[in-house]
Amino acid sequence: MSDKEIKNNNTTTKYKIPFVKFMPIAAVISSILFIASICIFAQKIKSGNFNLSIDFAGGVELNVKIDNPQVINIAEIRALYSNFGEETINIQELEGEENINSFLLRFRGSNEESDRAMKVLYDNYGEDKVSLIGSSIISGVVSADNLKLAFILIVIAWIIIMIYIAIRFNHRYALPAIITLIHNVVIVFGIITFLNKEFSILVLSSILTLIGYTINDIIVVFDRIRENFDSHKPFKEIVNSSLNNVVGRTVMTSVSTLLAAGSIMIWGGSILYDFAFTFFCGVVIGTYASNFIASGLLILFMKGKKD
């Protein structure tokens, strides 16, 4: 065994990264990011500038079909609405042979904006060539209910994960895990709010996916800590060696996930961009938090404990 290798119970690792040494610095950084995220979020809510999609803010959805001999590229439709005004229009291309040149336009607004949106197509393709297949208006009441449901789903996910961790390990492991998850979600919310990204169903899906991804990372770390536990050794030493045991796996998993998310951001189109961007940020924060925040909290909660 080389002088770079250390032995932890029955597990050998070639890394000697002083994770525990950097945990106080990580705690300060996380505290600043956490407080800043809450302040940004509160300011946006207070000013009424929080960027909600029509699923959560209410709006209009138009299903249109254009009678054209050639297939119309969705980029062409998006270019038509680039100067539509303050309202951001979300445009999706419907799939299937029967839906050739069929598009779904979604935006915040009223019937007046619907008429304006349709006029753009009429002016470019001719009124006789554009058909309005269907339209729907999502009311403020329905969108408010959707927003409440979104936050309820996140809280339910936290509770279920907390119960799972408590059963699999013990309650002292559960609290650091749930605090880390809250830390991750709040900071990701802070980033997308600061950048004025639209909070949509896709972004919510990304956050729920992120919660599952992060807890998997935390479980891997906690499982190794429990595996390496030795009542005759300082707990900080056990945590540090355990983190070194799994750092290779953590880096490989995170890099491969970031490459996948980055690919979607680049080639997935504007519809999936916010989903991939949210997940990308969440993976970076989650990887950092699993190693420094969750483990640091566990050290704090396990002080003087022998199990």
pLDDT digit string, tens, across residues 160-177? 877 887 787 777 888 898
Which of 110, 142, 161, 131 is CA-nearest to residue 64?
131
Mean predicted confidence (pLDDT) in 73-97: 76
Nearest to 282 by CA among 266, 298, 270, 265: 265
More confident residue, 11 or 300: 300
Tell me how many degrees the CA angle 235-238-242 measures, rounded to the nearest 5: 145
Q: Which of 12-16, 94-98, 182-186, 206-210 has the lowest mean pLDDT?
A: 12-16
The single residue listed with the structure tokens 């207070």 is 46
How much is the pLDDT for 188? Answer: 94
Q: What six digits make up the tokens of 119?
A: 């006029």
SS3 34: helix
Render pLDDT for 22-76 as a digit per residue (tens, 0 to 9): 999 999 999 999 999 999 988 988 877 777 777 777 778 888 988 888 888 888 8
Give dist(CA 57, CA 262) in Å, integer.
Answer: 28
Closest CA to 26 of 249, 245, 291, 237: 291
- Pairing type for strands 102-107 and 59-66 reads antiparallel
For the chain, give the percent of residues with pLDDT over 70. 89
Percent of the chain at pLDDT > 90 equals: 25
- pLDDT band at 8, cuts 50/70/90? very low
Asked whether the predicted pLDDT for residue 6 surpasses 50, the reply is: no
> Which pLDDT belongs to residue 9?
45
Mean local confidence (pLDDT), 70-94: 78
What pLDDT is stored for residue 141 in this prediction?
58
DSSP 8-class letter at 236: H
Say what the pLDDT of residue 1 is. 36
Least confident of 11-15, 68-72, 93-97, 178-182: 11-15
Per 3-state DSSP, the chain is made up of helix, strand and coil in percentages (nearest 5) of 65, 10, 20
* Full-model pTM: 0.76
Mind listing the pLDDT tens digit for each residue in 270-290?
Answer: 778 889 999 999 999 999 999
Q: Residues 215-227: what's their mean pLDDT?
A: 89
Average pLDDT of the chain, as a whole number: 83
- With a cut of 50, say whether residue 5 has pLDDT above it: no
110-153, pLDDT tens digit by residue?
667 788 888 888 988 888 888 888 877 776 656 677 778 878 88
If DSSP codes are grouped into helix, strand and coil, which group holds residue 203? helix
Please report the beta strands in 67-119, taking only residues with DSSP state E, as ranges in sequence order: 90-93, 102-107
Q: 62 with 87: CB under 8 angstroms?
A: no
Per the rule left: phi > 0, alpha: psi between -120 and 50, beta: everything else, 295 is alpha
Buried b / exposed e over 271-305, threshold 16 CB at 10 Å, is eeebbbbbbbbbbbbbbbbbbbbbbbbbbeebeee
According to the model, what pLDDT value does residue 80 have?
Answer: 85
CB neighbour burial string for 73-94, b if at least 16 within 10 angstroms, e if fewer: eeeebeebbeeeeeeebbbbbe
